[in-house]
């Protein structure tokens, strides 16, 4: 009997403040990154990105638009990316975030060590149409 495919569905956001600074968190797994995480069973993708951002940073967001999908084919991870703006809340660290801050584009990209996260930020901020990026590593 064939097993059904199992994928990890993630929702993440490039969150901008009024000065177009990008919200980053410094966490234990990947260092500096954008907020996001797994979509839970019975949860919508948009609800997940709002929840994950609040849990990891303390910031409430409003989604501006859906940016696109990054798919890690080898790891079976599908990351749904949104552009959002911070609309309230206060910085609050968690077990997933040791440091938080808004950074201009150059500073944000220099802080992020993972190429795929840097690409996600650039795609969300610069592209007007949605995208699909597939990679195999």
Hey, which residues are catalytic here?
99
CA gap 61, 129 in Å, rounded = 21
In 3D, which of 7, 6, 4, 14 has the Cα closest to residue 131? 14
Residues sharing a CB contact under 8 Å with residue 114, sequence separation 6 or more, in sequence order: 30, 31, 33
- C-alpha Rg value of the chain to the nearest Å: 14
């Amino acid at each position: 009997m064939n097993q059904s495919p199992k994928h990890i569905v993630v929702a993440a956001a490039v969150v901008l403040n009024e000065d177009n600074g990008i919200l980053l968190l410094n966490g234990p797994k990947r260092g500096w990154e954008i907020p996001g995480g797994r979509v839970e069973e019975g949860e919508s993708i948009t609800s997940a990105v709002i929840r994950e951002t609040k849990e990891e940073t303390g910031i409430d967001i409003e989604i501006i638009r859906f940016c696109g999908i990054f798919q890690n084919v080898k790891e079976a991870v599908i990351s749904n990316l949104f552009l959002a703006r911070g609309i309230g809340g206060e910085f609050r660290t968690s077990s997933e975030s040791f440091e938080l801050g808004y950074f201009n584009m150059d500073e944000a990209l220099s802080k992020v060590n993972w190429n795929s996260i840097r690409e996600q930020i650039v795609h969300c901020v610069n592209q007007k149409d949605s995208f699909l990026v597939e990679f195999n590593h």
